Chains A and B, each alone.
Chain A
Amino acid sequence: MDGHRTTRRTVAARMTALAACLFVAAVFSCQKKGQPTGATSPAKPANGTLTIKGSDTMVQLTSAWAEAFMKARPEVEIAVTGGGSGTGFAALLNGTTDLCAASREISEKEKKQAEQKGIKPIEVTVARDGIAVVVHPQNPVGVLTMEQLKKIYTGAYTKWSQVGGPDEAIILLSRESNSGTYMFFQEHVLEKADYAQATRLMPATSAIVQAVSTDKTAIGYIGLGYAVEAKGKVKMLAVKAHEDAPAITPSEEAVKAGTYAIARKLYFYANGTPGGAAKDFVEFCLSEAGQKIVRETGYVTVK
Chain B
Amino acid sequence: MIAAHWKDNVVRWILLAAASTSIVVVILIFLFLIKEAAPFAHHPGLRELFARRWNPVSFQKESFGLLPLVTGSLLVTALATAVAVPFGVIGAIYLSEVAATAERELLKPFIELLAGIPSVVIGFFGLVVLAPWVKAVFHLATGLTALTGALLLALMAIPTIISISEDAIRAVPMSYKEASLALGASPLQTIWRITVPAALPGIIAAVMLGMGRVIGETMAVMMVTGNAAIVTFSPFESVRTMTATIAAEMGEVPFGSDHYRALFWVGIVLLLATFAINLVAQKVLKRYRLAHE
Q: Taking beta carbons and an 8 Å cutoff, which residues of A are in contact with B?
A: 1-5, 7, 14, 17-18, 21-22, 25-26, 29-30, 36-37, 83-87, 89-90, 93-94, 109-110, 113, 168-169, 171, 176-178, 183, 186-187, 192-194, 197-203, 207, 210-211, 214-218
Q: Can you give 18 A-B contacts (C-beta < 8 A)?
A: A1-B8, A18-B23, A29-B28, A93-B255, A168-B141, A169-B141, A176-B249, A177-B248, A178-B249, A193-B59, A194-B59, A194-B60, A197-B55, A198-B237, A200-B228, A201-B228, A215-B141, A215-B142
Q: Is B228's CB under 8 angstroms from A194's CB? A: no
The 8 Å CB contact of A90, one of B127, B222, B254, is B254
Of listed A85, A87, A201, A217, residue having the most chain B CB within 10 A: A201
The 8 Å CB contact of B27, one of A22, A37, A194, A200, is A22
B interface residues, tally (CB under 8 Å): 49
Q: How many inter-chain contacts with C-beta < 8 Å in the A-B complex?
A: 131
Measured CB to CB, the closest approach of chain A to B227, in angstroms, equals 4
Of listed B35, B55, B223, B248, residue having the most chain A CB within 10 A: B248
The 8 Å CB contact of B248, one of A17, A113, A203, A210, is A203
- B32 in contact (CB, < 8 A): yes
Q: Given A193-B60, A197-B228, A200-B238, A217–B249 Cβ distance below 8 Å?
A: no
Of listed B4, B132, B255, residue having the most chain A CB within 10 A: B255
Give the top 10 A-B pairs by smallest Cβ distance, nearest first: A86-B252, A178-B252, A200-B226, A192-B59, A177-B57, A201-B227, A215-B142, A87-B251, A87-B252, A176-B248
- B1 in contact (CB, < 8 A): yes
Q: Is A197's CB under 8 angstroms from B53's CB? A: yes
Q: Is A22's CB under 8 angstroms from B227's CB? A: no
Q: Is B141's CB under 8 angstroms from A203's CB? A: no
Q: Is B2's CB under 8 angstroms from A90's CB? A: no
- B144 in contact (CB, < 8 A): yes
Interface of chain B residues 203 through 262 with chain A (CB within 8 A): 222-223, 226-230, 237-238, 240, 248-249, 251-255, 257
CA gap between A7 and B2 in the complex, in Å: 12
Q: Is B251's CB under 8 angstroms from A83's CB? A: yes
Task: Kindly list 13 other residue pairs between chains A and B, CB separation below 8 angstroms, not including A83-B252, A200-B144, A211-B142.
Answer: A1-B8, A4-B2, A17-B13, A21-B20, A84-B251, A90-B255, A93-B255, A171-B142, A194-B60, A201-B226, A201-B227, A201-B240, A218-B141
Specify which chain A residues have a CB less than 8 angstroms from the CB of B238 in the assembled complex. Answer: 198, 200
- B101 in contact (CB, < 8 A): no
- B58 in contact (CB, < 8 A): yes
Specify which chain A residues have a CB less than 8 angstroms from the CB of B252 in the assembled complex. Answer: 83-87, 89-90, 177-178
- B135 in contact (CB, < 8 A): yes
CA gap between A215 and B135 in the complex, in Å: 9
Measured CB to CB, the closest approach of chain B to A196, in angstroms, equals 9
CA gap between A129 and B53 in the complex, in Å: 32
The 8 Å CB contact of A210, one of B2, B4, B127, B240, is B127
Measured CB to CB, the closest approach of chain A to B143, in angstroms, equals 8
Q: Is B127's CB under 8 angstroms from A187's CB? A: no
CA gap between A17 and B257 in the complex, in Å: 37
Interface of chain B residues 1 through 54 with chain A (CB within 8 A): 1-2, 4, 8, 13, 16, 20, 23-24, 27-28, 31-32, 35, 53
